[in-house]
Chains A and B, each alone.
Chain A
Amino acid sequence: MALNNITLGQYYPADSVVHRMDPRVKILLLIAVIVAIFLAGNLLAFVPVIAFLVIVTKLSKVPVKMMLKGLKPLRLILILTFVLNLFFLQGETVLLDLGFAQIKRESLILAVHYSLRLVLLVLFSSILTLTTPPITLTDGLERLLSPLRVIHFPAHEMAMMMSIALRFIPTLMEEADKIMKAQTARGADFESGNLIARAKAMVPLLVPLFVSAFRRAGDLAMAMEARCYHGGEGRTRLRVLKCEKRDYIACAVVALLIAVVVLLGYIY
């Protein structure tokens, strides 16, 4: 009961144009925007990218706070990127002499550039995961990867595995919670001791969890067979992904964005 309500991934439910977009288009556009970010040759070229980010965030109705949460786990890397670039890149114009090191104009610009690039990459990816439920994302990936069947890439099987995993994670978490409590009631201690002691203490949790996962897998396989599941062949789908006007518009906007970014890189 305690774990009934865990959210998977970081999907933020809302009714917005970004939410309604075809997941395939969203995935492809994310890749395109990433390319644009790498193409940006100078700080000025980031301006349209940032503007685009602001507009998309606004359209998606995702609170800014939720967006920024995605950066939290990365803050150490961000600081490190900034500081290392600041001090170790070569440059000529000295802005500030700290005695033990110097901050140069060129290195400051590059440090900002690299850090900004990282921030933008994370934020744009967050938009995809915040506006697309994991299952739809899986669906989109399956369709995008399905041409690879020619080289025997199991796109359907991968997607089915993903969706079953998504379905069972809450169930297994609830089960883990219950087993942990049951063992605690028998005096097990999951919290104290050194690393080895703690790893050993996990055995009474992990063994029953695996046994249960296998039992569930067996049951599920039988239930799926009973419902005529026989692989991806000849299967139709409830949800058909369809590109609509908004998707085409989004594509055009991103194409334009890339053009502007490249252009700005040339001019300056």
Chain B
Amino acid sequence: MQVTLERVTHTYQPGSPFQATAIQDVNMTVREGEFLALIGHTGSGKSTLAQHINGLLKPTSGRVLLDGQDIHQKGFDKREVRKTVGLVFQYPEHQLFEETVFKDVGFGPKNLGLSEAEIKERVVEALQKVGLGDKEIMEKSPFELSGGQMRRVAMAGVLAMRPRILVLDEPAAGLDPQSREDMLQLISGLHKQGSTVVMISHSMDDVARFATRAVVMEHGTIAMEGTPEEIFRHAERLEGMGLDVPSVCKLGMKLRAMGLPCPEDVFREEQALPAMLTLWKEGKRHGAE
């Protein structure tokens, strides 16, 4: 399963005085099984881009292809896209509405026209995935839960559609460190189990830790694209766009500026430890000579 965006442009309110082009001539493919990070400033067009991946927004020009099929073509069943691509919005807990957690998570499967038994199976499965499989929680009102739990329920609501591709718009925004870490581990787990993940994120440390590939958006176009190694090698360029770089990356830049031979492909925390130790041992050896 892969989604391809072909020369996609999206203009809001075309023809009005408020006309604004959010993305311009974007070519991109979401590949099966990858963990793709979408990076960029607020207003760089990454949210608009994400909403094209599951056909919520229709391109002003260009095509969106699901396994080669144009999803906006006449006769193409949109439900097919909704089933395949699950979209989790920012602060998804704000869309909860049902009396019980069970019913809320079941909303998607119900819309797919599944039987009671199938709905139940999917709801239980989805809630277990997000770590809320407790029977007691299922019968609770979603509004009685803590913020972190509410967010996981909302996520289960999307997982219950059994999407092959999961698109998440800043899934950890506003959470405290512990809930943040839980959420990221949950997403990483889904990826390891075979889901394709597209994640919008402002945290470069998270991108460094989890992504297999990253796309950097600026002013509605793709500015950089590649593996985290390739992206963070150009840390100066990211900083030039006003974006953060992982702190380990900053440390490397600083050390190189001081004349120390710190390698450029060190950007994850676990890479920093051996790199610093190597530097130190090298230094000691030189000192001894």
Contacts and interface: CB of A to CB of B under 8 A. Distances in A.
Q: Do chains A and B touch in the complex (CB under 8 A)?
A: yes
Interface stretch (A121-129, A147-155, A182-190, A217-225): A182-190
A4 B12 CA distance: 10
A187 B97 contact: no
Contacts of A48: none
A185 B56 CA distance: 7
A1 B47 contact: yes
B48 interface: yes
A208 B97 contact: yes
Interface string B84-119: 001101001011110000000001100110000000
Given A204-B97, A208-B94, A187 B112 contact: yes
B13 A5 contact: yes
Contact of A185 (B16, B18, B82, B97): B82
Contacts of B112: 187
A186 B111 contact: yes
Contacts of B161: 186-187
B90 to A, nearest CB: 8
Contacts of A106: none
Given A5-B18, A207-B97, A182 B92 contact: yes
A181 B56 contact: yes
B94 A175 contact: yes
A2 B161 CA distance: 27
| Interface size classification for chain A | 20 to 34
Given A5-B18, A187-B112, A181 B51 contact: yes
A186 B97 contact: no
A2 B12 contact: yes
A185 B111 contact: no
Given A182-B92, A184-B56, A203 B12 contact: no
A183 B89 CA distance: 10
A178 B94 CA distance: 10
A179 B13 contact: no
Interface centre among B47, B56, B95 (most CB of A within 10 A): B95
Interface residues of B, number: 30
Contacts of B87: 182, 185
Interface in B158-177: 158, 161
Given A5-B18, A181-B56, A211-B143, A186 B108 contact: yes
Contacts of A4: 18
A189 B111 contact: yes
B79 A185 contact: no
Contacts of A211: 94, 96-97, 143
B96 A208 contact: yes
B95 to A, nearest CB: 4
B228 interface: no
Contact of B95 (A1, A189, A208): A208
Contacts of A204: 95, 97, 107
Contacts of B92: 182
Given A181-B51, A187-B82, A212 B94 contact: yes
A183 B95 contact: yes
Interface in A41-73: none
Nearest to A189: B111
Nearest to A6: B18
Contact of B86 (A2, A178, A179, A185): A185
Interface centre among B16, B96, B97 (most CB of A within 10 A): B97
Given A182-B92, A208-B95, A208-B96, A1 B56 contact: no
B22 interface: yes
26 contacts: A1-B20, A1-B22, A1-B48, A2-B12, A2-B13, A5-B13, A5-B18, A175-B94, A178-B89, A182-B87, A182-B89, A182-B95, A184-B82, A185-B89, A186-B107, A186-B157, A187-B83, A187-B107, A187-B161, A189-B111, A204-B95, A204-B97, A204-B107, A208-B95, A208-B96, A211-B96
Interface of B: 12-13, 16, 18, 20, 22, 47-48, 51, 54, 56, 79, 82-83, 86-87, 89, 92, 94-97, 107-108, 111-112, 143, 157-158, 161
Interface of A: 1-2, 4-5, 175, 178-179, 181-189, 203-204, 207-208, 211-212
